[in-house]
């Protein structure tokens, strides 16, 4: 019976396949085969044995069921894998499997192969989401909306700025993940405590050759494990990506509040139900799920940080935790990336409500512009700030339009006439370089 929601609710088939037990076994067989081939090339083991080991390095021959059956007796997953592997090799070739290696040579190196596949999937999804955000940025490059600081109306901005900002952040995550990949996807065939003692004088050659055969970079030095700062970095990057998706989700959810209603995620009114008791509800469940699951990915990064300081050359405290942390974070992040792609693709910008909200504060959002204009016309900047502030507070308290209050102020009208005041309150002309900034982002990121 399924227990974890990943088994039945969350995650894509492709990412789950990376972390399935059978995939893990297959990767371990490939590492054992690479060790045998490197040793066969050096004459340490018979080449015929190395070739047979490579022929049988597949779950078509070494079944997960048989490995688990043996593990019931040995209570050691790698010993069980080696025994199950040896059973299917002909002409005594099985005697040469795992020659000079230790368990974590296999575990950590095979895990790097899984990471390599997982990172490839994540990078593809990040690029797709970036593309969706850039398309939205282009579409809404000049869609004027209210900017908010502290949850309060500030001055106008554009929705293009929001989408471009998120796309730029995703690009940094893509860069981080690409950089991390080379430090994360590494191989290690260094023996019980990293000295290669069991491999003798050929140890370094075998270590490097296995990396070549598997397409991984051999570590410069290890003890019994690949050092977990590499994995901690990876998990931290996953957490950062999740938090960016969380940030996007929070904004969409906030802008979908009934009172604001500027953004709205897809809702199939013909079939979809928002509440078991309130028939009218249209809840932002996609972006809520993104925000909720991002917390798990973030928390898992902290768990991996605790795996960095192990006892001396190694203890076993990282192993059980990582069996949960790595698959869970990769599957959940992949899942919320898929939700983000779909959510952004189907996101609606309600232009009528955007315009309504611009008008919500009776022109107070133009107070900065009024102050700057007065300063440019000769009123001192500090004086202008004080004059406009008095008018702004009066506008707020009396629930009157700021333009009306400014027109009543004798100091203001010494520097401006009615036509000039009217022009100040055209919100579309106070978005600064927003369209140019957005265009720069689009051009920059499309070329990456």
Q: How far apart are CA 441 and CA 134, in angstroms?
A: 8
Which position among 4, 179, 275, 428 bears the catalytic label? 275
Q: How far apart are CA 110 and CA 215, in angstroms?
A: 12
Which position among 150, 270, 280, 320 bears the catalytic label? 150
DSSP string, 303-369: HHHTTSS-STT--SHHHHHHHHHHHHHHHHHHHHHHHHHHHHHT-EE-HHHHHHHHTTTTTGGGHHH
Instruction: Identify the bridge partners of residue 413 per DSSP, sorted by sequence position.
Output: none
Determine contact, residues 221/194, Cβ cutoff 8 Å. Answer: yes
Taken as a whole, the chain contains a residue count of 448
Computed on alpha carbons and rounded to an integer, the radius of gyration of the chain in Å comes to: 30
Q: The tokens of 210 are what?
A: 């296995």
Q: How far apart are CA 178 and CA 158, in angstroms?
A: 31
**E strand segments, 70-143:** none
Determine contact, residues 407/421, Cβ cutoff 8 Å. Answer: yes
Q: How far apart are CA 291 and CA 352, in angstroms?
A: 27
| Phi/psi of residue 255, nearest 5 degrees | -75, -10
Q: How far apart are CA 25 and CA 30, in angstroms?
A: 9
Determine contact, residues 122/434, Cβ cutoff 8 Å. Answer: no
Q: Is 275 one of the annotated active-site residues of the chain? A: yes
Residues 6+ apart with CB under 8 A from 259: none
**CA 371, 372, 376, 382 torsion-angle sign:** positive
Question: Exposure of 417 by Cβ count < 10 A (0-12 exposed, 13-18 middle, 19+ buried)?
Answer: exposed
Q: What is the largest CA-CA distance in the chain?
A: 104
* Residue numbers annotated as active site: 150, 275
């Amino acid at each position: 019976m399924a227990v974890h929601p990943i088994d039945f609710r969350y995650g894509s088939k492709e990412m789950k396949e990376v972390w399935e037990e059978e995939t893990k076994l297959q990767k371990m067989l490939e590492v054992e085969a690479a060790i045998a081939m490197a040793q066969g090339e050096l004459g340490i083991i018979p080449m015929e044995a190395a070739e047979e080991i490579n022929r049988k390095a597949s779950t078509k021959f070494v079944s997960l069921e048989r490995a688990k059956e043996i593990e019931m007796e040995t209570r050691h997953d790698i010993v069980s894998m080696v025994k199950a592997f040896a059973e299917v090799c002909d002409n005594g070739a099985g005697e040469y499997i795992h020659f000079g290696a230790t368990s974590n040579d296999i575990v950590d190196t095979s895990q790097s192969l899984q990471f390599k596949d997982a990172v490839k999937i994540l990078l593809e999804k990040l690029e797709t989401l970036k593309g969706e955000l850039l398309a939205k940025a282009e579409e809404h490059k000049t869609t004027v909306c209210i900017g908010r600081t502290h949850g309060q109306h500030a001055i106008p901005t554009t929705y293009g700025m929001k989408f471009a900002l998120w796309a730029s952040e995703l690009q940094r995550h893509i860069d981080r993940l690409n950089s991390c990949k080379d430090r994360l996807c590494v191989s290690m065939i260094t023996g019980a405590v990293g000295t290669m003692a069991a491999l003798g004088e050929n140890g370094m050659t075998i270590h490097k050759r296995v990396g070549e055969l598997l397409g991984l970079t051999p570590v410069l030095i290890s003890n019994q494990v690949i050092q977990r700062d590499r994995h901690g970095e990876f998990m931290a990057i996953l957490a950062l990506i999740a938090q960016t998706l969380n940030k996007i989700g929070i904004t969409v959810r906030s802008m979908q509040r009934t009172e604001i209603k500027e953004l709205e995620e897809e809702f199939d009114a013909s079939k979809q139900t928002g509440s078991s008791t309130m028939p009218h509800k249209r809840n932002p469940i996609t972006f809520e799920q993104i925000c909720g699951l991002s917390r798990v990915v973030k928390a898992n990064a902290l768990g991996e940080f605790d795996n960095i300081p192990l006892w001396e050359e190694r203890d076993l405290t990282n192993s059980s935790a990582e069996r949960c942390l790595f698959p869970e974070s990769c599957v959940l992040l992949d899942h919320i990336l898929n939700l983000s792609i779909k959510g952004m693709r189907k996101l609606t910008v309600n232009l009528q409500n955007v315009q309504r909200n611009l008008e919500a504060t009776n022109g107070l959002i133009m107070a900065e512009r009024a102050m700057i204009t007065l300063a440019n016309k000769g009123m001192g900047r500090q004086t202008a700030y004080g004059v406009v502030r008095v008018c702004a507070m009066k506008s707020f308290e009396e629930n009157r339009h700021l333009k009306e209050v400014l027109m009543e102020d004798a100091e203001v009208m010494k520097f401006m006439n009615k036509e000039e005041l009217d022009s100040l309150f055209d919100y579309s002309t106070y978005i600064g370089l927003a369209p140019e900034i957005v265009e720069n982002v689009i051009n920059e990121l499309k070329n990456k």
